Amino acid sequence: MTDFEHARKSLREKIGNFQKDDKPNRNGIVSIRRLTQEFSSPDISGWLRQQSIYPRFFWSDRSVNMKWATSGAIRCISSDTEKFSQAAFQNMENILVRSDSDLRWIGGMRFQPEASADDIWRKMGKFRFIIPRFEIHQSGTEGLLVCNLESSADRSDKSDIIKHLDSWKTKKSFRLDGENEIRSRVEVPSYDKWNQMMENALQSIRADKYQKIVLARKSSFRFKKKLDPLKFLDIFQRSYSNSFCFYFQPDRNLSFLGVTPEMLYERRDRQIFCDAMAGTIMRGTDEDEDDLLGEDLLSSEKNIREHRWVVQYLENKLNDICEDWKKTDQETLLKLEFVQHILTRFEGNLKSEIDDFRIINDFHPTPAVAGFPREESLQNISRLENFDRGWYAAPIGWFSLKRAQFAVALRSAVLQSKKLTTYAGAGIVEGSQPEKEWQEIENKIMNYTQILKIL
C-alpha cells in the first residue's frame, strides 16, 4: 500500500466517524470542518485526473513551493446578474468565522461585471466562489488530503462522499497523445482592425482623454480532436517559472486556465504584499542579447513612464488601506520564458478595518491591465474592443481568515472541447506602434502557441 493509499483509507475512516454536532446560528450560518490526513510524495496532477465531480480547481504560487487542487463544492456563492458585493463577501466571511481557521473560499470574477457576457463566459457568471469538497495540497514532498464537511447540515450523504473517495484510482503519469491538428486560427480584432483601434486610441491620448489604455486581443484555435486542459496544466507546471498557475473548471466542457506573472496582492494576517508590473520587452536568444534587451527596457522612457503610472496608482491605494508601507524592490527585471517586465514590489501593514473585499475593489483593475486614469480607460476599452474579456485580466485566487492570494488572470485561455481561446493585451501610450504592440501580444501568448506545436 502506497502512502497515498494509506492516507485515503485514513481519511475514509474519519469521514465515516464524523458526527454532525453543530447547529446553524440564528441567521442560518453554518460551520464547516476540515478532515485532514498527511502523506508524502503527492501527485496533484494524477489526483486531478481521477476526479469526476466538478468544479475542479488548481493553484500554484510563483515559487511553485505551494500548490493545491480541489474537486467538487459544498458551498457556492455566485451571480449571473449582480457583481461581487460587500453583502456576498460578508456571507462568505461569516462562514469562515464559524469554521476551521484554514478553510478557504476559491474563485474569481469578470474584468468588467457590468458588460454583457458572451457565450464563452456565460457559465462562469459575474463572479463565482466555492468551498470545495475535496482538496489535495503539496509543499515540497509533503502532502495533505482534505475533506470539507458541514457540521450541521451537509446535504450530501456520507456514503456518497465515501463512494467518491473510493473511486479514486491509482495515479496516472502524464503523456501526450500525439499530434492534434489545428484546423483554424482566428484573431479578434484582425490585424487591420487592430491598426484602426490603435490609431483611435492614440488620437484620444493626443487629445488628453487618457494617458494609457490597455487593449487586448483574443486568438481562437480550432482542433481536430478534443483538448485536455490538464495537459496544458502539466506543461505550465514543468515549463514556466516566476508565475502563478491557475485552472478553474466549472463543468466537463469548460475550463479557464492560465500562467500569469502578475500578483494582485497577497495577505498574511494583516500584512499585505503587492506588485507593480508594467513595461515589456522580449527575451534574447542568448545571455548577452537578453541582458542588452533588459537594459533597453529599463532605459526606455515609454516603458518607464508606463510602469510608474502603475506604481503611482498602487502608492495611492496603499496610503488608503495601510498603516504604513514600503517598496522592497524598485524597477527591477522580472524575466519570464518569452518576455521580461519591469517590476516594483511593495509590502505594508493593513489598517484594522480593511478586509479582502476592500483590497480587491481598490486594486482591481490596475493601470497595468486597464490604463491611466482608470475610469477613462475602462470606458474606452468597452468602446474600442469588440469582444468580451470575461474573467481575463480579472482577480482569481483564494482567501481564508489567515491568508489570501489573488493573481491577475493574464496569459489566460478558455478551453471548450475542440476550441482554445487565448487572451492577452498591451499597454498603449504615446509613442506606441501598432506592429510592435501586436508582436508583444504574440510573444505573450507563446505560452500557448509553443504548447500547440506538440499537441
Q: If pLDDT is split at 50, 70 and 90, which confidence band does 171 have?
A: very low
Predicted pLDDT at 382: 85
CATH 3.60.120.10 given to domain 182-452: yes
pLDDT of residue 334: 94
Tell me the average pLDDT across 157-180: 70
In terms of pLDDT, which residue wins out, 239 or 307?
Answer: 307
Q: What pLDDT, on the 0 to 100 scale, is given for residue 180?
A: 74
**3-166 and 182-452, same CATH topology:** yes
Task: List pLDDT tens digits, range 226-283.
Answer: 889 998 998 888 888 889 999 999 999 999 999 999 999 999 999 999 999 999 999 9
Beta-bridged to residue 130, according to DSSP, are 76, 106
Q: Is the pLDDT of residue 220 over 70?
A: yes
- The cell 513612464 sits on which residue? 305
Q: Kindly report whether the peptide bond that precedes residue 365 is cis, defined as omega within 30 degrees of 0.
A: yes
CA 388 to each of CA 122, 158, 195, 427: distance values in angstroms, whole numbers, following the listed order: 10, 41, 19, 18
62, pLDDT greater than 90: no
Dist CA 271 CA 242 (whole Å) = 21
* Of the candidates 237, 239, 267, 256, the residue with the CA atom closest to the CA atom of residue 399: 267
Burial classification of residue 419, based on how many CB atoms lie within 10 Å of its CB (0-12 exposed, 13-18 middle, 19 or more buried): middle
What is the value of pTM for the model shown?
Answer: 0.93
Closest by Cα among 20, 49, 52, 18 to 147? 18
**Span of 4-8, 167-171, 220-224, 368-372 with lowest mean pLDDT:** 167-171
The set of residues, in sequence order, having a beta carbon less than 8 Å from that of 60 and lying 6+ positions away, is 66, 67, 68, 237, 244, 245
pLDDT, position 99:
92
Cβ pair 100, 114 in contact under 8 A: no
| Span 67-103, pLDDT tens digits | 999 999 999 999 999 999 999 999 999 999 999 999 9
Structure confidence at residue 177 (pLDDT): 53
What mean pLDDT do residues 379-394 have? 93
Region 11-27 average pLDDT: 76
How does residue 153 score in pLDDT terms, banded at 50, 70 and 90? low
pLDDT, residue 158, reads 82
Residue with cell 484510482: 169
Peptide bond into 24 cis (omega under 30): no
When pLDDT is averaged across residues 160-180 and rounded to a whole number, the result is 68
Instruction: Please report, for the chain, the start and end positions of each structural domain, with discontinuous segments joined by +.
Output: 3-166, 182-452
Average pLDDT over residues 286-310: 94
Average pLDDT in the 112-116 region?
Answer: 89
- pLDDT, average across residues 380-391: 93
Q: What is the pLDDT of residue 401?
A: 96
Assess contact for 141 and 2: CB atoms under 8 A: no
For the cut 90, the answer to whether the pLDDT of residue 332 exceeds it is yes
Mean pLDDT of 126-141: 95
Q: 3-166 — its CATH code?
A: 3.60.120.10
Q: Which long-range contacts (CB under 8 A, 24 or more apart) does 353-361 make?
A: 354/321, 354/322, 355/89, 355/93, 356/89, 356/267, 356/399, 356/404, 357/84, 357/86, 357/89, 358/321, 359/265, 359/267, 359/272, 359/321, 359/404, 360/84, 360/264, 360/395, 360/406
CA 415 vs CA 156, 219, 406: distances in Å: 30, 12, 22
- Cell matching residue 144: 495533505
CB 309 within 8 A of CB 293: no
CB count in 10 Å sphere of residue 112: 19
